[in-house]
Amino acid sequence: MSTFESFVSAYGPLSKIDAFGYLSSLANDPAAPRKQGKVVLVTADTPLKASRGEGKTTATVALTDALRARGIDATAVLRQPSMGITAAGSKGGASGGGKASLKNPEIADWGLFGEMMRIATAQNLIVSLAEKALEEGKLTEILLPRVSEVPSKSLRSIAVAGGKVAEKCVLSPTSEMMQIVTLSRSVTELKNRINALIVGTLDGKPVTASEVADADRIVTVLGDAVQPALLETQNGSPIYMHCGPFANVSIGIPSLISVEMACARHDIVFVEAGYGTDMGAQKWLDIAAREYGAQWPVAAVVVTRASTWRDDPALQWRYPFHIQRLENAGVPSFPLLNLWEGEDDLLPSLREHATEQGFRDPIAGNLFRDGSDALVPQLDDFIAAVTTPSAADLAAMVPQSTAGQTVVSKLKDIIAVSYGVPAERVLEKETFEPSLAAATKLAADAGIDIDKLVVCPVKSPATMTDNDALPASERTVTLKKAEVHAGAGLLHVNLTTSLTTAMPKIV
């Protein structure tokens, strides 16, 4: 029997874990000791601006420390921040803040051990091999985008083959290769997904990566990027980190293996699911848990700042909507009020407001200043909620897969449940139907029934509908464009105010 430690390697002051090896050793030895950890989603209100987080990572760190201080074996699985975005100044890092921070944040925020750059390189190699296939007449069009770790204006469009073929370029965390690494539970699955990537077309028919590249070579380029990293909070709590952020333009969840590994090692596993509930939680529930076998969460913590929650009257409906939406799904949902300097005085009125809204008692504190100390005494209800259900109870809550429903029917369900807009107010831009028809044909030609693909909404992180400021009865959601990600098994659909810029701004 191999111990967990035999799958851990020191990497400088941190470690990396051969999660494929560890999970396979557990699968092969049913008697091997393991825990049945439960997932708690840490999600948030829809942010007023995409670049301004509510404090999910800070809250996750403080909650992990606080539960451990209460004698519960808790951990968290974080998504790796995008170094390119942080370096370009578009967004801060994601390693918590103040007393609720990670040790070695400079490593976590600045590229960890190069995982994202390896993922970018792996996809870029396939694109280069596709270019060669294009030259050789084996391909007439490249669909798979090139990947860049840093945002760049010039890479928004690239001319290949004398301008006859357009290519686009995306950031590492938004690449299909990142999705493939996030979703794959074994090297075999990784290779199968790589082989299934649609790289382009030959006279309109899809050409997959299996026809232009050797999956073994791509896996070799990925190298240790498939291994989650093990970090610690400043208080010494274990924290896992693996795979990318950006639920707005991708799935934005940590890798399934990192969460499974954490659940085999700890009793409570916080999983970051942002930006807001409409995005990160929607994707964990509808994509990871419902379609890819990840755990149904035992609870959710919905982080908000005092200001986000109350400042814009026209958007005040969103936070209670999110809480209710999660409770409707059977996920006990705890408001977490992340107070900033000078906001302590607001607490009584915030608590009153929460009571009026019918929320569970909020967990509140200045987490930057006080860290977990602020939370330890407030967790009785939360602990009761997360320790009661059994693994079987949770497994029973996972809704049936949507595989086989039509794309539009799946979208209407998501939009009704997660954004609060009924089917009759789901609109279609004139480009949507042709785009879906083309995606359907492309998938069919690749041997894939499009109704078997999992729908992945792509939209602005700051809005849920075409105009969130309208009254509920006037809100609409417009479907705009469909795009097949055959390797990941996803159908991306752009909605509402899509963040369609492949490359965010440099500031």
Query: Which residues are 491's β-sheet partners?
Result: 455, 484
Out of 38, 56, 68, 146, point to the residue binding a copy of itself (CB under 8 A).
146
Distance of closest approach, residue 466 Cβ to a copy of itself, in angstroms? 30
Residue closer to a copy of itself (CB basis): 243 or 287: 243
Closest to a copy of itself by CB, 16 or 103: 16
Q: Does 187 bind a copy of itself (CB under 8 A)?
A: no
- Alpha carbon distance 301, 32 (integer Å): 32
| Binder among 24, 51, 140, 152 for a copy of itself (CB under 8 A) | 152
Stretch that binds a copy of itself, among 56-64, 141-149, 421-429, 487-495 (CB under 8 A): 141-149
| Whether the Cβ atoms of residue 478 and residue 444 lie closer than 8 Å to each other | no
* Least Å from the CB of residue 111 to a copy of itself: 6
Which residue lies nearer to a copy of itself by CB, 117 or 350? 117
Residue 113 in contact with a copy of itself, rule: CB under 8 A: yes
Q: Which is nearer to a copy of itself, 153 or 429 (CB)?
A: 153
24 phi/psi in degrees, rounded to 5: -70, -35
117 counts as binding a copy of itself under rule CB under 8 A: yes
E strands, 178-255, in order: 198-202, 205-208, 229-232, 238-241
* Exposure on the CB side of residue 463, measured as CA atoms within 13 A: 19
Binding of a copy of itself by 501 (CB under 8 A): no
Minimal distance, residue 222 CB to a copy of itself, in Å: 9
The nearest distance, CB 15 to a copy of itself, in angstroms, is: 9
Stretch that binds a copy of itself, among 39-47, 146-154, 260-268, 336-344 (CB under 8 A): 146-154
CA angle centred on 241, ends 239 and 247, rounded to 5°: 125
Helix (H) or strand (E) holding 38: strand 38-44
Single out the segment in contact with a copy of itself by CB under 8 A; choices: 216-224, 239-247, 372-380, 390-398. Answer: 216-224
The verdict on 317 binding a copy of itself (CB under 8 A) reads no
Complex with a copy of itself: residue 126 or 493, whichever CB lies closer:
126
Longest dimension (CA), the chain: 70
Q: Which is nearer to a copy of itself, 116 or 454 (CB)?
A: 116
Stretch binding a copy of itself (CB under 8 A), from 61-69, 160-168, 411-419, 424-432? 160-168
| Nearer Cβ to a copy of itself (121/295) | 121
Closest to a copy of itself by CB, 19 vs 367, is 19
- Are 345 and 39 spatial neighbours (Cβ–Cβ below 8 Å)? no
Per CB under 8 A, 224 contacts a copy of itself = yes
| Binding to a copy of itself in span 76-105, by CB under 8 A | 83-84, 87-88
216 near a copy of itself, rule: CB under 8 A: no
Contacts of 57 (CB under 8 A, 6+ apart): 78, 94, 95, 96, 97, 272
Selected binder of a copy of itself within 4, 110, 317, 340 (CB under 8 A): 110
Q: Quick one: which H or E segment has residue 105?
A: helix 105-109
Element (H, E) at 265: helix 256-265
Q: Using an 8 Å Cβ cutoff, are 266 and 238 in contact?
A: yes
Alpha-carbon distance of 79 to 104, in angstroms, equals 15
Interaction between residue 160 and a copy of itself (CB under 8 A): yes
Q: Is 289 helix (H, G, I), strand (E, B) or coil?
A: helix
Residue 141 to residues 130, 163, 170, 487, Cα–Cα distance (Å):
9, 11, 17, 18
Contact (CB, 8 A) for 210 and 195: yes
Residue indicated by tokens 């301008």: 163
What letter does residue 476 receive in the DSSP assignment? -
124 is an interface residue for a copy of itself by CB under 8 A: yes
Buried b (16+ CB within 10 A) or exposed e, 449-460: ebbebbbbbbbb
Q: Is 154 in the site for a copy of itself (CB under 8 A)?
A: yes
Do the Cβ atoms of 363 and 379 come closer than 8 Å? Answer: yes
Q: Is 121 in the site for a copy of itself (CB under 8 A)?
A: yes
The interface with a copy of itself within residues 321-340 (CB under 8 A) comprises none
Rounded Cα distance between 19 and 238, Å, is: 15
* Residues in touch with a copy of itself (CB under 8 A): 9-13, 16, 83-84, 87-88, 106-107, 110-111, 113-114, 117-118, 120-121, 124-125, 127-129, 131-132, 135, 146, 148-155, 158-161, 167, 217, 220-221, 223-224, 506
